[in-house]
């Protein structure tokens, strides 16, 4: 059976999204709303940031079904029945993850706007590749733009986490 | 204004027939930009996310061809078996946007949008790919040259969709090259795919972003095949490579727009053609 999700500006139809392990109801949404918009404006999850709204800056990066994607380019009503993971869901109970701590200790955060997207992208990279080369780090982060740090300290943060995880394992 | 989510190709055929004006949504990397920034108002949408058959791919060794589902994301073409069998497609896939875009964007999306800058399209043109289309009247196969008919225009009929694409596995060299303002996250200002079948002694070259459609340069191809042998073991005179580049540039039909000028595009695509031909002999 196919499923049919009615979405309209006026109706009170509901669809649900599974975000960070919790099911959220989305009411009264317009069909054209991006996942980024719904996360921020309807579900109270403003960690993912919106800047370019066209998939170029990566500040809205989230994980959908184990893939890092730009949430601004996902139609929210099309993300039903997927597993969505946002920056808010990476650490237990709001605690910092090792990636977030390394960004702080290595100075990978300046204005901070791009940081949540980078954090999600780095978690995704290290899940699939625990010992990335510098080229692999640059490639994995090529869809995330930072205008403050010059990237050097961000790369250093990734190397630091990879080293820590190897030492601890 | 619903989002319809079929589970199978059969359901997709039925739903699309019931809603022939619905918009198909694949990776969303083109469509959502129109919604977010250009005032596009979605009405009925058909999501392809749950039609798993569209993400499959297979190799027919007897026919020496590979068939790739319209819903397979570019990320799955960058490495591994597909990259080994169709290296130019893998090279093109690696130049698409960023990892986030490549995790979402699909071959079917490139064909549905049919932008002259679509990175996979010159590869499909150079390989004489066949597009497998399904619609209310059943299946039909469309050659790539008959599929892309204008800027963002294809020859799909109402309620038809791209199921998969077949392309030959070629003995010889193939490559894709592109010019843009930087290495990552860039829409091409000029691109080219060259395939040299050293078994048959045939060359084909197709250009992106330098005309209303992807352009096959039959004039330059025929000139090169008359001028020299392209079979394995032959050698290339650099002067021939230079003239090949000039002839390819002459067959391009670029325009001035926000990304580049016609003059620069014509020059760049000639350099790309020359470079690809040299690489095919290195």
> Mean pLDDT per 10-residue run, chain A (169 residues)?
52 82 94 97 97 96 98 97 97 92 97 98 97 97 96 98 94
Asked if this assembly's ipTM is beyond 0.85, the reply is yes
pLDDT of residue A9: 39
What homologous superfamily is domain A92-168 in, according to CATH? [2Fe-2S]-binding domain (1.10.150.120)
What's residue A128's pLDDT?
94
What is the residue-averaged pLDDT of chain B?
96
Tell whether the model's pLDDT for residue B232 goes beyond 70. Answer: yes
Q: Where are the domains of chain B?
A: 3-168, 172-280
Domain boundaries, chain A: 14-86, 92-168
CATH class, B3-168 region: alpha beta
Contact A75 B3 (CB under 8 A): yes
One fold for A14-86 and A92-168: no
The answer as to CATH 3.10.20.30 being correct for domain A14-86 is yes
Contact yes or no for A53 and B33 at CB 8 A: yes
Tell me the residues of chain B between 98 and 137 that have a Cβ less than 8 Å away from chain A. Answer: 98-101, 103-104
CB B54 within 8 A of CB B111: no
Residue pair B14/B22 in contact (Cβ under 8 Å)? The answer is no
In A20-139, beta strands by DSSP E: 22-27, 61-64, 67-70, 83-85
Please tell me which residue of chain A has the smallest CA distance to B182: A142
Contact at CB, B33 and A54, closer than 8 angstroms: yes
Architecture of domain B172-280: 2-Layer Sandwich (3.30)
pLDDT at B173 over 80: yes
Q: In this complex, is the C-beta atom of B211 within 8 Å of any C-beta atom belonging to chain A? A: no
pLDDT at residue A82, as a whole number: 97
pLDDT surpassing 60 at residue B151: yes
The predicted-structure confidence for B42-62, as pLDDT tens digits, reads as follows 999 999 999 999 999 999 877
Q: Which is higher by pLDDT, B170 or A1?
A: B170
Per-residue model confidence (pLDDT) at position A4: 64
Residue A12 pLDDT: 43
> pLDDT value at position B54?
98
A2 and chain B in contact, CB less than 8 A: yes
Q: Does B39 touch chain A (CB under 8 A)?
A: no
Is A74 in CB contact (< 8 Å) with chain B?
yes
**Same-fold call for B3-168 versus B172-280:** no
* Stretch B186-193: mean pLDDT: 93
Neighbours of B137 (CB within 10 A): 10
């Amino acid at each position: 059976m196919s499923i049919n999700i009615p979405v309209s500006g006026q109706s009170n139809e509901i669809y649900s999204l599974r975000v960070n392990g919790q099911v959220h109801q989305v009411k009264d949404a317009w069909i054209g709303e991006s996942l980024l918009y719904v996360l921020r404006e309807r579900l109270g999850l403003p960690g993912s940031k919106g800047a370019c709204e066209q998939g170029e800056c990566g500040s809205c990066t989230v994980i959908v079904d184990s893939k890092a994607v730009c949430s601004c380019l996902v139609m929210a009503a099309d993300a039903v029945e997927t597993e969505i993971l946002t920056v808010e869901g990476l650490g237990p109970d709001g605690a910092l993850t090792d990636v977030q701590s390394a960004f702080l200790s290595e100075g990978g955060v300046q204005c901070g706007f791009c940081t949540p997207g980078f954090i999600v992208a780095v978690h995704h990279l290290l899940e699939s590749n625990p010992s990335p080369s510098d080229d692999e780090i640059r490639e994995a982060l090529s869809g995330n733009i930072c205008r403050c740090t010059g990237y050097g300290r961000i790369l250093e943060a990734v190397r630091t986490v990879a080293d820590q995880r190897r030492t601890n394992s | 204004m619903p989002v319809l989510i079929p589970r199978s190709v059969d359901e997709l055929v039925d739903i699309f027939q019931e809603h022939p004006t619905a918009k198909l949504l694949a990776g969303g990397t083109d469509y959502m930009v129109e919604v977010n920034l250009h005032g596009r108002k979605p009405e009925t949408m058909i999501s392809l996310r749950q039609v798993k058959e569209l993400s499959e791919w297979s190799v027919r060794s007897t026919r020496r061809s590979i068939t790739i589902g319209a819903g397979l994301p570019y990320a799955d073409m960058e490495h591994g078996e597909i990259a080994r069998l169709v290296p130019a497609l893998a090279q093109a896939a690696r130049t698409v946007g960023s990892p986030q875009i490549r995790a979402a964007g699909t071959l079917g999306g490139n064909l549905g949008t049919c932008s002259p800058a679509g990175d996979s399209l010159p590869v499909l043109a150079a390989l004489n790919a066949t597009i497998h289309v399904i619609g209310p009247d059943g299946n039909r196969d469309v050659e790539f040259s008959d599929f892309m008919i204008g800027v963002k225009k294809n020859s799909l009929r109402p309620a038809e969709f791209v199921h998969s694409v077949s392309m030959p596995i070629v003995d010889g060299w193939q490559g894709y090259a592109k010019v843009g303002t930087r290495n990552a996250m860039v829409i091409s200002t000029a691109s080219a795919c060259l395939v040299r079948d050293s078994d048959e002694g045939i060359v084909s070259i197709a250009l992106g972003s330098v005309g209303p459609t992807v352009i096959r340069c039959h004039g330059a191809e025929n000139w090169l095949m008359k001028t020299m042998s392209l079979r394995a073991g032959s050698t290339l005179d650099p002067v021939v490579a230079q003239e090949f580049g000039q002839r390819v540039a002459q067959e391009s039909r670029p325009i001035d727009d926000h990304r580049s000028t016609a003059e620069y595009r014509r020059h760049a695509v000639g350099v790309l053609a020359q470079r690809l031909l040299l690489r095919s002999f290195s």
